[in-house]
Structure 1
Amino acid sequence: MTSTLNRAGQDRTDTTTPRVTIGEALTRLMAGGVPFRFTAYDGSTAGPQDSPIHLRLLNERGLSYLLSAPGDLGMARAYVSGDIALEGVHPGNPYDALVHLQSNLRFKMPSPAEAFALARGIGLGKLLPPEPPPQEALPRWRRLLEGFRHSKTRDAEAIHHHYDVSNRFYEMVLGPSMTYTCACFPHEGATLEEAQAFKYDLVCRKLDLKPGMRLLDVGCGWGGMVRHAAREYGVEVIGVTLSKEQAAWGQAAVEREGLADRAEVRFGDYREVSESGFDAVSSIGLTEHIGVRNYPAYFSLLRDKLVPGGRILNHCITRADNHVRGTGAFIDRYVFPDGELTGSGRIITTMQDVGLEVRHEENLREHYALTLKGWCENLVENWDECVADVGEGTAKVWGIYMAGSRLAFERNEIQLHQVLGVKPDEHGNAHFPLRPTWLS
């Protein structure tokens, strides 16, 4: 016997549909068998006993998460809520499990009749969605109450959701640099801190910064680029971030390092910066948040901030192609609400269309995989303190997000491009040397 719903939404006994165990249902949905060990709360099992990965479904709520939101969103809900246990890997770095699953997991699409029979066999009541975990952002249609997508109000809320978790949490995960963007490793043996410092210095050299110049750093985070440019190159810097927590931490670091006479980390929207006449603009990790349709306005605004001959360095995650797509249900709800990615070609085209001359670009995707590996190692090393600070559910979100992103960079599903542009003067002079100085 199995359970179905009557008109009142209550379970009633169905004597005609044979019962299906969860393990049996999973096996029927897999092409080539279940590639991991699976154990469910109903006592059923599936998959090889000697698999290095063991997934335990602990309760009915977990099953309802999986059935009511098939794919990465349902899996994330069950995992974050503790309704699924993933054994054989540390929750701060489930990279090996994700590699195994992505390499071996093959679903087959059942016919509507087969799908309905499986659902009835397990119990139609399991299709009712439970309340999502507290770490989950509202769906996009509900976010309309906060304003249209990429309005100032809605962007501020999206940034708050991701970046205002806890400065202490970020210190433990990111390390002393407090830099939450792709590092650039000068050699394979470089540490994460060395690679972040090298990245900032590479940006400064591409922008050809010199003492007395003025730099605007949009989406400045905790002010790593602001402080590096002011300290190492003697420039005057304004950094701006939509995260109040980041701004407070970054400005305190500026003052602690004795840089307040030429550097500022400001809380606010980059669109509200009133100053202009900058010699250079750096945008490191902001473009992912602004929306592809806003690229023309974004690059036009930054162009207008520059003096003739001024340079702009845009550093952001991209797709491997130039199609415009969202970030997927899990990333959108748990990590980057309203995030949107496209390819480097779209970025270069838009920069050219608004009058910026593109002089150089490079892809650092392997560097981002190494960066994420370092962050996951930091999370594992500081796991107990991270859980005490933000809770186990949030810490697990970060572990699976960073490990999954590492795999995506390794497999060329996403990339990281730096694009260097210049604003030519009225005569078309880019004030650019015959060969790039940062390569010498």
Structure 2
Amino acid sequence: MRLADVFTTVLGDEPPVGFKAYDGSSVEAAGAPVLEIRSPDALNYLATTRRTELGLARAYVTGAVDVIGDLYSAMRSLWNIRVNVSGADSLRIFSALGGLRLLRRPPLPQREARLAGRKHSKARDAAAISHHYDVGNDFYELVLGDAMTYTCALYAEPTTSLEDAQYAKHDLVARKLDLRQGSRLLDVGCGWGGMVIHAAKHYGTRAVGVTLSREQAEWGAQRIKEENLSELAEIRHVDYRDVRECDFDAVSSIGLTEHVGVENLAGYFRFLYGKLKSGGRLLNHCITKPNGFGPPITRGGFISRYVFPDGSLAAPGVLMSGMHDAGFEVSHEENLREHYALTLAAWVSNLEKNWDRAVERVGIETARAWRLYLVGSRLGFEHNGIQLHQMLGVKPGARGLPAMPLRPTW
């Protein structure tokens, strides 16, 4: 039994993608991308990894598995495939592929995160953030483009440029928060400072951003200096929990909540509530689960090993309840998942356009891990496997009096 026979046993005689293997066998699928098994290590990764998804990811990251053609097209074709192999076929496949030799463990990719210490302690959170964000600002510049913003953009049209869409996202947040000249903004998890710079430059707001990534903080501080915004904008390399000032007019949290831990959401929202003056607003922008079923994240999977170690996703209802329980009145909510799919498509396009330079900067394994992560995330948003919600909360005025206009002004 050759590998191509195994492939058609699993996916049928007319598979949605082609197939090619190191044993010389192949299956054609006219005009479709080709899944290539380049090394026996691919089979070992699958056989020795409890989760098939992680085994495939390890094989792809190391190059034991590759796709000839467009990775997005291949993964989209396979996205809804349900494998249905009988017990007899499983035994036959196992024997044909080498039996117990499949259980030889190949070396793990170097890119996998291996964190120590108490989960969501300040030290471990710093290590988790560094794993993902401190791969080099020059690499992020290749992927994120001139906007240098690593969160969901806001598209007026599918053809809107990435830079214009990121500007629109920052401006929407600014208007929802009612930023104006002289108001004070705290941006937690500020990244390279996109929101801080936008608020200071376009609204005259005094903005403080905090990030656990030293490379982000240094890049953002330099951009603030170049924009002549030092009197209004500041970025600190600190944990958001170490911010001492209070009485901010507004708090923006754009892409931080995913790193906090679902078990810590109550304390997170209470902390942000305490940073605001009466009538102040919080804009919480984060990736969510599409429903409240199952655990907050599949532990031990590709995303937790390669992308966001210790990250977790809550359902939108959990987030809204957490905000209300902390004292906020949630006055507006919207789901921008289609916008994140478009954002990811733009990042993938940038990565492919700059592929050789990206590999030169971070190495082939990291570059392949990023390609797989960005393409898989795009499909997740397109197929409603994950969502992106913005929730606007207000700290009620004195004696609980309303602190918002009758209708939205943005």
Q: Which category of TM-score, normalised to the shorter sequence, fits these structures?
A: over 0.9
CA contact (8 A) 2:112 2:305 kept: yes
CA contact (8 A) 1:35 1:48 kept: no
Shift of 1:117: 4.4
The equivalent of 2:318 in structure 1 is 346
The equivalent of 2:73 in structure 1 is 96
* Structure 2 residue 283 is matched with structure 1 residue 301: no
CA contact (8 A) 1:351 1:357 kept: yes
Shift of 1:48: 3.3
Call closer, same or farther: CA 1:289–1:32 in 2, change over 3 Å: farther
Distance in 2 between residues matched to 1:320 and 1:108, nearest whole Å: 26
The equivalent of 2:19 in structure 1 is 38
The equivalent of 2:338 in structure 1 is 366
Distance in 1 between residues matched to 2:72 and 2:387, nearest whole Å: 18
Mapping of residues 108-123 of structure 1, within 5 Å: 108-111=84-87, 114-123=89-98
Residue 326 of structure 1 aligns to a residue in which SS? Answer: coil
Residue 79 of structure 2 aligns to a residue in which SS? Answer: helix
Shift of 1:79: 1.1
Shift of 1:153: 1.5
Larger Rg, first or second structure (1 or 2): 1
Distance in 1 between residues matched to 2:353 and 2:15, nearest whole Å: 32
**Cα deviations by residue, 1:65-116 (Å, 9 ceiling, x for unpaired):** 1222252211111111111121022xxxx2111111114x3311442x6534
CA contact (8 A) 2:7 2:19 kept: no
The equivalent of 1:430 in structure 2 is 402
* Structure 2 residue 306 is matched with structure 1 residue 326: no
* Structure 2 residue 170 is matched with structure 1 residue 200: yes
Distance in 2 between residues matched to 1:118 and 1:99, nearest whole Å: 26
**Cα deviations by residue, 1:270-306 (Å, 9 ceiling, x for unpaired):** 1111111111000000001111111100000000000
CA contact (8 A) 2:188 2:240 kept: yes
The equivalent of 1:6 in structure 2 is none
Identical aligned residues as a percent:
51
The match for 1:412 among 384, 388, 397 is 384
Distance in 2 between residues matched to 1:301 and 1:183, nearest whole Å: 27
Distance in 2 between residues matched to 1:186 and 1:98, nearest whole Å: 27
Distance in 2 between residues matched to 1:406 and 1:412, nearest whole Å: 10
Distance in 1 between residues matched to 2:103 and 2:329, nearest whole Å: 54
Moved more, 66-75 or 27-36: 27-36
Distance in 1 between residues matched to 2:288 and 2:160, nearest whole Å: 25
AA partner of residue 85 (structure 1): D
Give the CA RMSD over aligned residues: 1.6
Mapping of residues 156-175 of structure 1, within 5 Å: 156-175=126-145
Distance in 2 between residues matched to 1:164 and 1:317, nearest whole Å: 21
Shift of 1:430: 3.2
The equivalent of 2:285 in structure 1 is 315
AA partner of residue 400 (structure 1): L
The match for 1:125 among 101, 104, 107 is 101
* Structure 2 residue 74 is matched with structure 1 residue 74: no
The equivalent of 2:83 in structure 1 is 107
Distance in 2 between residues matched to 1:188 and 1:50, nearest whole Å: 29
AA partner of residue 236 (structure 2): R
Distance in 2 between residues matched to 1:189 and 1:33, nearest whole Å: 35
AA partner of residue 95 (structure 1): Y
Residue 341 of structure 1 aligns to a residue in which SS? Answer: coil
CA contact (8 A) 2:15 2:29 kept: no
AA partner of residue 63 (structure 1): L
Call closer, same or farther: CA 1:341–1:221 in 2, change over 3 Å: same
Distance in 2 between residues matched to 1:136 and 1:27, nearest whole Å: 32
Distance in 2 between residues matched to 1:58 and 1:288, nearest whole Å: 36
The equivalent of 2:160 in structure 1 is 190
* Structure 2 residue 62 is matched with structure 1 residue 62: no
The equivalent of 2:217 in structure 1 is 247
Residue 421 of structure 1 aligns to a residue in which SS? Answer: strand
The equivalent of 1:23 in structure 2 is 4
Residue 346 of structure 1 aligns to a residue in which SS? Answer: helix
AA partner of residue 52 (structure 1): A
Q: When the two structures are superposed, what TM-score results if normalisation uses the length of structure 1?
A: 0.89
Distance in 1 between residues matched to 2:3 and 2:243, nearest whole Å: 56
Distance in 2 between residues matched to 1:403 and 1:39, nearest whole Å: 22
**Cα deviations by residue, 1:172-198 (Å, 9 ceiling, x for unpaired):** 110111000000113343211011011
The equivalent of 1:83 in structure 2 is 64
Moved more, 218-227 or 179-188: 179-188
CA contact (8 A) 1:423 1:430 kept: no
Distance in 2 between residues matched to 1:344 and 1:399, nearest whole Å: 28
Shift of 1:51: 5.1
Mapping of residues 144-293 of structure 1, within 5 Å: 146-293=116-263
Distance in 1 between residues matched to 2:326 and 2:314, nearest whole Å: 18
Shift of 1:249: 0.4
The equivalent of 2:32 in structure 1 is 52
Residue 59 of structure 1 aligns to a residue in which SS? Answer: coil
Call closer, same or farther: CA 1:87–1:188 in 2, change over 3 Å: closer
Shift of 1:49: 4.5
Distance in 1 between residues matched to 2:162 and 2:29, nearest whole Å: 38
AA partner of residue 97 (structure 1): A
Call closer, same or farther: CA 1:359–1:32 in 2, change over 3 Å: farther
AA partner of residue 38 (structure 1): F
Distance in 1 between residues matched to 2:31 and 2:12, nearest whole Å: 17
Which ranges in structure 1 are unaligned for 5 or more consecutive residues?
Answer: 1-19
Moved more, 296-305 or 340-349: 340-349
Moved more, 208-217 or 121-130: 121-130
Distance in 1 between residues matched to 2:298 and 2:350, nearest whole Å: 25
Distance in 1 between residues matched to 2:82 and 2:183, nearest whole Å: 55
AA partner of residue 433 (structure 1): P
